[in-house]
Amino acid sequence: MRLIYFARVREAIGFDAENRELPSELQTVGDCVAWLAAQADNYASAFADPSRLRYALDQQLVWEETLLEGADELAIFPPVTGG
Partner 1 sequence: MKLVRISGEAIDGAAELAPLAALGGGAVASFTGIARNDDDVVAIELEHYPAMTEAILIALMDEAFARWSLLGGVLIHRVGYIAVSEPIVLVGTTASHRAEALEACAFLIDRLKTDAPFWKKEHRADGSAQWVEPKASDGDRSNKWR
Residues that bind partner 1 in the complex, under the rule CB under 8 A: 4, 6-8, 56, 59, 61, 73, 75, 77-83
- Alpha carbon distance 68, 7 (integer Å): 23
Give the nearer residue to partner 1 in terms of CB position, either 4 or 68.
4
Give the nearer residue to partner 1 in terms of CB position, either 7 or 48.
7
CB of 64 to partner 1, least distance (A): 17
User: Which segments of the chain are extended strands (E)?
Assistant: 2-5, 17-19, 54-57, 60-62, 73-77
CB of 77 to partner 1, least distance (A): 7
Give the nearer residue to partner 1 in terms of CB position, either 32 or 56.
56
- Alpha carbon distance 15, 10 (integer Å): 6
- Alpha carbon distance 78, 83 (integer Å): 15
